[in-house]
Structure 1
Amino acid sequence: MRTTLTIDEKVGAALQETARRMGKPYKAVVNEALRLGLHAMAHPSARAYHLVPSALGDVRTGLNLDKAPAIAEALEDDAIAQKLM
Structure 2
Amino acid sequence: MRTTLTLEPDVAEKLKREADLHQKSFKETVNTALKRGLGITPPKRKKPFRVKPRAMGLVAGVDALHLNRLADDLEVEAWKDKQPR
Normalising by structure 1, we get a TM-score of: 0.46
- Greater fraction helix: 1
Larger Rg: 1
Normalising by structure 2, we get a TM-score of: 0.46
Structure number with the bigger relative contact order (C-alpha 8 A, sep ≥ 6) is 1
